[in-house]
Amino acid sequence: MYITHSEIHHNTQPGAGINAESVLTLTIHNSSIHHNSVTAPSTTSCGGGISFSGKAFMLSNSVVYANQNILGEGGGICVSTWNTELGSTIVNSTISNNLANKGGGVSFSGQLNITNTTIYANEATSIGGISRLLYGSGSATVNNSIIANNIGEIVME
């Protein structure tokens, strides 16, 4: 699935902004995902702006802001990838002012690579900026990026 030069906004559950489960790849380029919300229990409870489960995820030159998932994980983005070579990549993007129970900005499982990206002013009950999914595994690599002013209790898992 490829989304480019698009604006996805003011959607409510299920799926909120983008819900792509069991999709091989999702690429979002030069797009804006904002003001989407999951406010009641859903089958996924993952991702207010973007929810993805598949082989590879790419977000580039995009903004994800003012999304919420008050009952689940990933206010802005929730990604789960099963390909260790490809994983998830976020580059030249901004993730800000999202709200979630956990992982206000990004929740992930699998390999997450973040480059030239700002993750700013996201809020969560626990872990405001980036969090690994509760039942997930994986690691994150962050290069030349800003992660600042996120609000949430830091919990070591």
Q: Which residues are bridge partners to 101 per DSSP?
A: none
CA distance readout (Å), 117 to 3, 19, 57, 95, 114: 19, 22, 15, 8, 7
For residue 89, what are the contacts with CB-CB under 8 A and spacing of at least 6?
Answer: 56, 57, 58, 59, 60, 112, 113, 114, 115
User: Beta strands 50-60 and 87-91: pairing type?
Assistant: parallel
- The pLDDT of residue 50 is 94
Enumerate residue ranges in the chain where pLDDT < 50.
155-157
